[in-house]
Amino acid sequence: MLVGRTLKDRYRIYDRLGSGGAATVYLGRDSESGQMVIVKLVHGHLVNERFMGRFRREIELLQAIHNPYVVQLYDWALDEYDEETSQNLSYIIAEFIEGHTLADVIDTRGPLAETDGLEIARQVALGLADVHSAHIVHRDIKSQNIMITPDNTVKIIDFGIAKGQGQATLTASAHFAGTLYYAPPEQILEAHGVDHRADIYALGVVLYEMLTASLPVKAREFGTVASRIISGKLDPITGVTDPVAALVTQMMALKPDARPASAGEVVTRIENILGGKPAATLLDLDIPATTTSMKPLTTTVPLRPQNRYELLTMDGKHLPLTLHETVIGRSHPRDTSVPDIDLWVMGVEDARTASRRHCRVFFEGDRYYLEDLGSMNGTFLNQQQIYPGGPHPLAEGDTITAGRVRLTFQQAASL
């Protein structure tokens, strides 16, 4: 745990934002510039020659890009000994981007207006044009890797599987790299052979997703999804104007040669469709910070029987609180992370209004607390909105509202 420590006598770590299969992400501050930064710390068990090749490549690629629509890399360490932690650490220090992922915006607001979707796609294409000019293919463009800031700027993030010209990838030729729903046929069949047109295909899927709040393949099984993408059997986009439908369809063309030749061409096509209209405001989003000041839990105290509580849904479902920390939210087929209480899978009414990691209930000392996790539609305790970084104690009969999902905190029935 790095919270409270300082890296390189410069980067003070304030908060843990989350953890994935490859790294843990922290919020910090650069004492020299005063800027907030993101620290992406690679899990220690992954630090070997094979994985470090990928990590080193991400650093090299980000160093080559200086674009307002692409996350900026500031500093890094590769298996360096840190005196304060007495460990060898590998991490990157990158630009802190306040806002929400495009995936969360789509999930919360539903289909976006054409002008909003086109403006977001235009900014992504402007970023990709610079990325591609550096002979880099991102290979994982998706709504989760696109941030929308409070001032309506789009940022492309996560270059973990990007590939530069002449660089070998870490995946074997038979191993798929990327996110299936957004991947073009050639990336599924042979990840090494893709060029910049793979990113154009993926951006076409993102544009489709923004304008329909769905994906061009609705199946969830890997084999079915892959088969439909490889054969070009995508659901056609509907409910949009003809020029937009034509652009999306061409961007998602089966053959790379049939797609727009460059990201710059996509920018031009979008600007022609917009016809000089004022820039979209991207829904005038009132976006809170992505950070949540999650207080570390004391896990040495067992949950005693007399402290066992549950959440009761409006339709009578009993959700036992058996963990020290229970994250409430909803899953999505394109996201491998699943909350402890998955409102979507449980079929709870209005589950779609909850964020993927909406709020958490945790046990500490002798009571339970509720904390918002930077949700889009807000968390309410007894009809009063609560905010990230401020845990609130829970009492018998309290009402928790996540989006429009209402839950009652109550003592569980005796066994």
- Number of CB atoms found within 10 A of residue 355's CB: 24
Listed by start position, the domains of the chain span 6-95, 100-284, 305-411
| Amino acid 184: pLDDT | 95
**pTM score:** 0.67
Joined tokens for residue 287: 């976006």
| Amino acid 349: pLDDT | 82
pLDDT at 241 over 50: yes
CATH 1.10.510.10 is the classification of domain 100-284: yes
334 falls in which pLDDT band (50, 70, 90)?
low
| Topology of domain 6-95, CATH | Phosphorylase Kinase; domain 1 (3.30.200)
Q: Comparing C-alpha atoms, which of 319, 322, 331, 320 is closest to residue 355?
A: 331
Q: Do the beta carbons of residue 136 and residue 164 sit within 8 Å? A: yes
| Amino acid 305: pLDDT | 39
CATH assignment of 305-411, among 3.40.50.970, 3.40.47.10, 2.60.200.20, 2.60.120.1090: 2.60.200.20
Mean pLDDT of 229-251: 96
Mean pLDDT of 30-47: 85
Angle formed by the axes of helices 263-274 and 197-212, nearest 10°: 30
Regarding predicted confidence, which is higher, 321 or 164?
321
**pLDDT tens-digit series, residues 58-91:** 677 777 788 999 998 899 888 888 887 788 898 8
Mean pLDDT of all residues belonging to the chain? 83
| Amino acid 169: pLDDT | 35
pLDDT at 282 over 60: no
Q: Are strands 359-364 and 367-372 parallel, antiparallel or unpaired?
A: antiparallel
Mean pLDDT of 215-233: 91
94-98, 115-119, 152-156, 276-280: least confident range: 276-280
**pLDDT tens-digit series, residues 195-213:** 999 999 999 999 999 999 9
Known catalytic residues?
140
Q: Which secondary structure element, helix H or strand E, spans residue 64, and what is its range?
A: none
Kindly report each contact of residues 270-274 with a partner whose C-beta sits within 8 Å and lies 24 or more positions away, as own/partner.
Answer: 270/118, 270/121, 270/122, 270/125, 271/122, 272/243, 273/118, 273/241, 273/243, 273/244, 273/247, 274/115, 274/118, 274/119, 274/122
Regarding predicted confidence, which is higher, 305 or 197?
197
CA dihedral 218, 219, 222, 223 (to 10 degrees): -120
Regarding predicted confidence, which is higher, 58 or 395?
395
